[in-house]
Structure 1
Amino acid sequence: MPQLNPTPWLAILVFTWLVFLIIIPTKVMAHAYPNEPTTQSTEKPKKEAWTWSWY
């Protein structure tokens, strides 16, 4: 019963986790977004009172 032999499956598991932990994060972090978000100012805009022409 070759399914119970852990030798090839352990190597496959280790190499798979190495790919997930080393190769994939570096490729994801190297991705450049074309539109970088800009920070908004923390100042609140001044509110001006409305002038009603009929009041």
Structure 2
Amino acid sequence: MPQLNPDPWFIILLISWLTFLLILLPKILSHKTNNCPTPQSQDKLFLPPWNWPWL
């Protein structure tokens, strides 16, 4: 059964992953995001207790 022969497909898989990791991934990771998250304030937010009508 020829589809079980991994010889040509393993090399194709290996070359495609190496291409992705060595060429495409650094280009993708070099982009900067436009919306940098701002840190929230350190003050604790006061939440009043809930008034449960059935209690």
Q: TM-score, normalised by structure 2?
A: 0.50
